[in-house]
Structure 1
Amino acid sequence: MSVTDTTSSLSLNDILANSSIKTNTTTGGLAAATGAATGSQSLGKDAFLKLLVTQLKNQDPLSPQDNGAFVAQLAQFSSLEGITSLNTTVSSMASNFSSSQALQASSLVGHSVIAQTNIAQISDPTKGLTGSVTVPSSIADGTVTITDASGKVVRTLDLGSQPAGSASFKWDGNDSSGAVVPAGTYTFNASAPIGGTATALATYLPATVNSVTLSQTGGELTLNLAGLGPVGLSKVQTIGM
């Protein structure tokens, strides 16, 4: 007795029609089948496995699907699921990092920091001020010129001979005549002759943190310093009490 195969390869619509997943053929297709299985228009793990099992049940027994094709489908879905889980984990880590950053930022408020700036807010001149300058190469002489808010020079400090590196200076809060200056904002401009040319030097001065701004795009913290305004955390040299 000969056996005649009267079946043909089933299409995806045939598979879906014969499966337990009911769908409207007028709006049919994979999206509708997936929606019926998962309650949404995204293909989830359960819906994928149901479609795979249905495909196995409805394959032509005399011409079954290639095993390698099923393995490839499972591998692709496994990779996709792994990437989805990884995205979820990374998002969770980013959220935790933001929370930790906010906690650290709140602890900086009210503290004194040493930041790269040439402006300082002096509330009590009798306490003086200690700052530093960055010397790119050894110098025989250098100066720090202090001016008030009106641009008037109130004092010039001598740095003297300095090796390359960081050179500190101290101002007692007095002007050139020895009188205590009034409270206010002062500018410190450091310079030294390097290679026969007067060169400006970066200055680091103390300031108090009034508030902290968190970046919404993953950038660095911004410290809002008294009398100075916003300064990036990367420009802060020292954080004190």
Structure 2
Amino acid sequence: MASSIGSTTSSTASSASTTRADAQQIAGNFTQFLTLLTTQLKNQNPLDPMDTNQFTQQLVQFAQVEQQLKGNDRLDSILTNAKAASSASATSFIGQTVTSDGKSAQLKDGAANWTLTPARAVTKATITILDAKGNVVGTQTKALTAGAQSFTWNGRNSAGLSAAEGQYTIKVDAFDATGQSVAVDTAVSGKVTGVDLSGSEPVLTVGAARVPVSSVRSISNLST
């Protein structure tokens, strides 16, 4: 849990640094615009002043830049508060028993885990791993026994290279010995033992699986 909090602090610091850099860039452009406008006003020919329409357009640009600076500050504040609220809410899952749809899992430290539960024995299952954009990252063919079983992807794509850490989705096309299609459930149930807050969305640790909060179907507390 400590490592997750540390990662969150690092991520927040990095985000804040980027935000400050962006604000400084906009502020710099804003200051440069003021300097140019002031210089232009000082050096214009009194007998041939600046075109009124052009002057009006520059004033409008002036106001738009000022609004952008203020708007960015407000959006940053809203985003920070929303993320803090989401993180605080996610920690309340610890100790609870949850059921997730299980289609998505987080690849971290070279492993992503899913629970596959075929309705009956499968002689050929084509397992496809897709990234967040729906692109196929890798495929694997194997047999599956009836009942719940764990499937672990080592994070290697079809070219044998390590895929980037993040959220991936599994798709299973399964057939029995007679060639009939077999439904494979990916639901995950178990007690939440940890929460990773380092990414854009909190991720729950449920046994060996890592599932995003958005995929949780139900929550219960079996101890009560």
TM-score (normalizing by structure 2):
0.48
TM-score (normalizing by structure 1):
0.45
Structure with a larger share of its residues in helix: 2
User: Larger relative CO (CA 8 A, sep 6+): 1 or 2?
Assistant: 2
The structure with more radius of gyration: 1
